Amino acid sequence: MKFIQNLQEKWKVGGSQFWLIMLTFALGGSLSGRLCSFLLNLVFLEKNWAFWLVYPLFLTILWPFSVLFVSFFTGQFRFFKGYLSRVGAKVFGIGASVVAPSTVSAAPATSSVLSDALSFSSAAPIHIAIFASGTGSNARKIIEYFEGAGLKSTSSQVKVSLIVCNVPDAGVLAIAKEKGIPTLLINKNEFATTGYVESLHNADIQFIVLAGFLWKVPEVLVQAYQPGMKIDGALVNGKENVSKGIINIHPALLPKYGGKGMYGSRVHEAVIAAGEKESGITIHWVNEHYDEGGIIFQATCEVVSSDTPDTLADKIHALEHAHFAPTIAKLLG
């Protein structure tokens, strides 16, 4: 059905997760109804006009806590934490870690659920989206680094929570499936118009990493993810939920060999044709122009006379795999 497809696209979830979310809504609604009736029956001797006047108000108060409680068991707590944060921000005009603050003091019967939720929230990681168009070798290295393979220490928890791709059969999508990471397949017209900002905000994405992504990032997305920009007015760990920026990795030493059309083997061919003695990688901030954002990190490798675009590509890939994830950890640490 079109309605279901629209919801899946809006929430950026697959079929199985969608039905788990709907189950959580149903069970949470049922639980809140039963709790409401039970508690009000302790106060009112009969279901008179006063009972029915208070019932919808009390039900509204209990519902967020009931849904959060059920979401622990259906595995959808992160989705509902973000969902209720956005609802609270829109309804009450303020952010909330889990639900709007005005509902907290009015529901002592569910304080244990709120306590568990806030405890869970305090350990919430920084959510990253990786944009990629190809095989995803860099994406895999980043994912595994923050899973713990090679990660020695970092002061912040970091999680790759979304893979964004513009190629339906790209290898990075298989990696996402293997790792159980949600994916977002994008089309060029909508990307240029909206930047999929709403979808990224719905997923609580705070940091964007371009890892072999070949489309130019539109200004609407660049502006929405400037470091420090608010994300839907929500709070994370009692602080404003804000963007931490967008970064890219380029297979050359910028400002040389950058710009429109300079990607992959084209870069290596140009480096060799120019007789360069070294090449390398550049990790940089993303702005509205190709490869012109501020440089964060560079690493170099030697270019020898026997190098071909393929052998130089191997050297560059080794640098990317060695330095990209640790640089992200330093930026977010």
Q: What span, in angstroms and rounded, lies between the C-alpha atoms of 123 and 114? A: 15
What is the pLDDT averaged over residues 168-175? 94
| 4 vs 234, more confident | 4
Mean pLDDT over all residues of the chain?
A: 81
| 322 vs 243, more confident | 322
What is the pLDDT averaged over residues 218-229? 90
Identify the band that residue 7 occupies on the pLDDT scale cut at 50, 70 and 90.
confident
What is the pLDDT averaged over residues 122-149? 87
Which of 3.40.50.170, 3.20.20.70, 3.30.70.20, 3.40.50.300 is the CATH number of 124-333?
A: 3.40.50.170
What is the pLDDT averaged over residues 150-163? 68
Report domain extents, the chain: 2-122, 124-333
| 33 vs 164, more confident | 164
Q: Give residue 228's pLDDT.
A: 82
Identify the band that residue 37 occupies on the pLDDT scale cut at 50, 70 and 90.
confident
Identify the band that residue 231 occupies on the pLDDT scale cut at 50, 70 and 90.
confident
For residue 151, pLDDT beyond 50: no
Q: What span, in angstroms and rounded, lies between the C-alpha atoms of 65 and 113? A: 6
Q: Give residue 10's pLDDT.
A: 66
What is the pLDDT averaged over residues 199-205? 88
What percent of the chain has pLDDT above 90? Answer: 48
For 268, counting Cβ atoms within 10 Å of its Cβ (0-12 exposed, 13-18 middle, 19+ buried), the class is buried
Rg (CA), the chain: 24
Q: Which two tokens stand for residue 210?
A: 């371009």
What is the pLDDT averaged over residues 79-100? 55
For residue 33, pLDDT beyond 80: yes
For residue 85, pLDDT beyond 60: yes
Q: Give residue 242's pLDDT.
A: 81
- Reading phi first (left if > 0) and then psi (alpha if -120 to 50, else beta), residue 185 is in beta
**Cα three-residue angle 27-30-34, rounded to 5 degrees:** 135
Identify the band that residue 114 occupies on the pLDDT scale cut at 50, 70 and 90.
very low
Q: Give residue 104's pLDDT.
A: 30
Q: What is the DSSP letter of 173?
A: H
Q: What span, in angstroms and rounded, lies between the C-alpha atoms of 283 and 53? A: 60
Q: Which of 57-61, 179-183, 277-281 has the lowest mean pLDDT?
A: 57-61
Catalytic residue numbers read: 250
